[in-house]
Amino acid sequence: MIPATAIAPVTSIVRVKATPERAFRFFTENLGQWWPSNFSIGSSPMRDAILEAGTGGRWYEVGQDGSTCQWGEVLAWNPPDRLVLAWRITAEWQFDPNLLTEVHVSFRDLGNGETEVTLEHRGLENYGGAAAQMVGLFSSPGGWHAALARFAEDVAAA
């Protein structure tokens, strides 16, 4: 076992002109509308992204060929304040049911119909468990670095 390296969560904050109720609903019900299609793990280009309401609901993408790729599931569902999602996507950009990282989303009412949405991606040290397999990832043509590099190019070109 590799000792877990404590890694600070990744945090991102955005302010929206909508009530927390509306923001929560849009976040969950319209995932396919706002999720950047370049953040896709499927072999087929992404057509839609779905987040099933309620604890235990899955969140996944649907490819243009109809195939689905799961990302994780809902760990906590507390509209309109808070949503916790499991993000089980590895450094290789593959779904792995044994990997658990958590995406915490909170919706804070700022008044005047505005909401502050804070997203925290926690448990990144769990990627450390994959470090033992790093050799394999680094040395395979479709490995982590290659996948990320390709991904970065797509992002830059978008």
Partner 1 sequence: MTYDYGAIVALADPTRRAVFEMVAVRPRSVAELTRALPVSQSAVSQHLKVLREARLVRSDQVGTRNIYRLDPQGLDQMRKWLDGMWTEALASFATELEKSEEEGQ
Q: Looking at 16, 62, 75, 84, which residue binds partner 1 (CB under 8 A)?
A: 16
Q: Report DSSP state, residue 131.
A: G
- In the complex with partner 1, the residue whose CB is nearer, 10 or 65, is 10
Q: Looking at 30, 55, 64, 67, which residue binds partner 1 (CB under 8 A)?
A: 30
With a CB cutoff of 8 Å and minimum separation 6, the contacts of 78 are none
The radius of gyration computed from the CA coordinates of the chain, to the nearest angstrom, equals: 17
Q: Three-state SS for 151?
A: helix
Could you tell me which of 23, 11, 12, 33 has the C-alpha nearest to residue 114? 23
CA 82 to chain centre: 15
Looking at residues 103 to 142 of the shown chain, list those that interact with partner 1 (rule: CB under 8 A).
117, 119, 121, 124-125, 127-128, 131-132, 134-135, 138-139
Residues at the site binding partner 1, with contacts judged by CB under 8 A = 2, 5, 7-8, 10, 12-18, 22-23, 26-27, 30, 33-36, 39, 91, 117, 119, 121, 124-125, 127-128, 131-132, 134-135, 138-139, 143, 145, 148-149, 151-152, 155-156
